[in-house]
Amino acid sequence: MSPQDTGFAPRGVVARPARLGRLIEPLPPGSMGRVDRSSTIGVELFDAEVVSVAMAQLLNGANAAAIRSASGAWEIVQFQTAEEVTPQAWRLSGLVRGQLGTDDAMLAGALTGADFVVLDDAVVPAGLQASEIGLLLNWRIGPSASDLSDDNFLTVAETGGLRALLPFSPVHLKARWMGADLAFSWIRRSRIGGDSWQGSEIPLGEAVEQYRLEIAAPGGPVLRTEMVDAPRWLYPQAAILNDFAALPPEIEITVRQFSTAVGWGLPAHRSFTF
């Protein structure tokens, strides 16, 4: 790896090939936070196999794969059942979609021919340093026994590390009336230590707790933006009437969490009908 065209230094060794493939049919948008037993993934694997796992293994992170979505972002998906329907063609079911904060890619869906990568120990992290995050770096990939200047090496330029720091979208957006005022609330998620069932609160995972709340009529421009330091906000009646002139039949909100490292995270959207 090098930030320039010269001065390359070894960064890592890949011991065996990753299991790669491509979708043989489109993958529609899905829902997260559940095992989807109605949708399936049709994928062609290149000289590779996958196996089914028990539910306990699935919930412990087994059978994870990355799919390049129609937006270009990668969705992390898990599958419980793998069936080879024809040579190299597989039907994957018992899906858990939008893992590790990739629900934006999940909502984009994926096209026929989309890249598919099984995420196991054959996929080696790039090992970016904090100072390298967000920088355009040159990478050379080739036989480990050859010199980095060998013609057998492929050179690619990529920027990385930013997505891993992006706050996840909040979940469970709610609204309830408190007299004539409207109270919004949501539940934050954490990139760090958020899987434990112990304790009443997961780690914040950020230097500060801050959210941006946007209010709009469905499909319309943003009418109000609020910065709040807790997962809730009260929309006073006077502000509602100032924004909409009268109580609207429907309000759409968008909530993002802030990161001091990379800025505003992934959005959560919800419309409320009154």
| Strand-pair category, 181-187 with 211-216 | unpaired
Residue 6 pLDDT: 86
Quick one: CA dihedral 21, 37, 82, 195, positive or negative? positive
37: Cβ contacts below 8 Å, ≥ 6 apart = 93, 94
| Range 254-274 average pLDDT | 96
Residue 150 pLDDT: 73
Encoded amino acid at 170, one letter: P
Decide if 122 contacts 12 (C-beta within 8 A): no
| Range 112-122 average pLDDT | 98
Residue 145 — pLDDT band, cuts 50, 70, 90? confident
Residue 198 pLDDT: 76
Return the CATH superfamily for domain 171-273. Immunoglobulins (2.60.40.10)
Residue 197 dihedral angles phi and psi, to the nearest 5°: -95, 0
Distance CA 246, CA 266 (A): 31
| Range 18-42 average pLDDT | 97
| Range 161-165 average pLDDT | 94
Residue 54 — pLDDT band, cuts 50, 70, 90? very high
- Burial class of residue 85, CB neighbours in 10 A (0-12, 13-18, 19+): exposed
Residue 265 or residue 202, greater confidence: 265
Residue 202 pLDDT: 87
Kindly report the average pLDDT of the chain as a whole number.
95
Residue 201 — pLDDT band, cuts 50, 70, 90? confident
Percentage with pLDDT > 90 across the chain: 84
User: CA dist 124 to 12, 120, 142, 155, Å?
Assistant: 8, 9, 14, 17
Asked if the model's pLDDT at residue 213 lies above 80, the reply is yes
Distance CA 116, CA 67 (A): 5
265: number of Cβ within 10 Å = 24
Residue 196 pLDDT: 75
Residue 151 pLDDT: 80
| Range 131-145 average pLDDT | 92
